[in-house]
A and B are shown apart, each in its own frame.
Chain A
Amino acid sequence: MTEGLTYVVVALACLLLAGSVYYAVRDRLMDDRLLAVAALLEVGLIILTVFGLSGLGRIEDPTEKATFASYLVSVPLIPIGTSLLTIKEKSRWAMGSMAVGAFAVAVMVARLQQIWNSHG
Chain B
Amino acid sequence: MADPDRHALGGPGVVLVVAYGVLALAATGRSVLQVLTNYEQAPLAYTLSAVAALVYLLATWCLIRGGRWVRVGTWACTFELAGVLIVGAASYLAPEAFPDKTVWSHLGQGYGFVPLVLPVLGLLWFRKVDRDALARDAQQATQSAAAPDATAG
Residues of A in contact with B (beta carbons under 8 Å apart) = 62-63, 65-67, 69-71, 73-74, 77-78, 81-82, 85-86, 89, 91, 93-94, 96-98, 100-101, 104, 107-108
Would you list which residues of chain B between 3 and 51 have a CB under 8 Å from chain A? 9-15, 17-19, 21-22, 25-26, 28-30, 32-34, 37-38, 41
The answer to whether B30 and A96 touch across the interface, beta carbons within 8 angstroms, is: no
The answer to whether B17 and A62 touch across the interface, beta carbons within 8 angstroms, is: no
The answer to whether B25 and A94 touch across the interface, beta carbons within 8 angstroms, is: no
In the A-B complex, the 9 residue pairs with the closest CB atoms: A70-B29, A66-B33, A74-B25, A97-B18, A62-B38, A70-B30, A104-B22, A97-B15, A89-B14
The answer to whether A101 and B26 touch across the interface, beta carbons within 8 angstroms, is: no
Tell whether A71 pairs with B14 under 8 Å between CB atoms, given A81-B21, A100-B19.
no
Would you list which residues of chain B between 51 and 77 have a CB under 8 Å from chain A? none
Chain B interface, DSSP helix/strand/loop, else mixed: helix
CA distance A14 to B50 in the complex (A): 31
Cβ-closest chain B residue relative to A81: B21
Contacts of A78 in B (CB 8 A): 21-22, 25
Shortest CB distance A80–B (Å): 11
Tell whether A70 pairs with B14 under 8 Å between CB atoms, given A101-B22, A108-B26.
no
Q: List 6 A-B contacts (CB under 8 A).
A: A62-B38, A74-B25, A85-B17, A91-B14, A96-B14, A104-B22
Contacts of B17 in A (CB 8 A): 85, 97
Cβ-closest chain B residue relative to A63: B100
Partner of A93, one of B12, B25, B26, B41: B12
For chain B, the count of residues having a C-beta within 8 Å of the partner chain is 25
Contacts of B11 in A (CB 8 A): 91, 93
Contacts of A107 in B (CB 8 A): 112
- Knowing that A71-B30, A73-B29 touch, tell me 10 more A-B residue pairs with CB under 8 angstroms: A63-B38, A65-B37, A69-B33, A78-B21, A81-B21, A86-B14, A93-B12, A100-B19, A100-B22, A104-B18
Contacts of B10 in A (CB 8 A): 89, 91
CA distance A91 to B30 in the complex (A): 33
Shortest CB distance B53–A (Å): 10
The answer to whether A85 and B37 touch across the interface, beta carbons within 8 angstroms, is: no
Tell whether A66 pairs with B14 under 8 Å between CB atoms, given A77-B25, A78-B25, A100-B19.
no
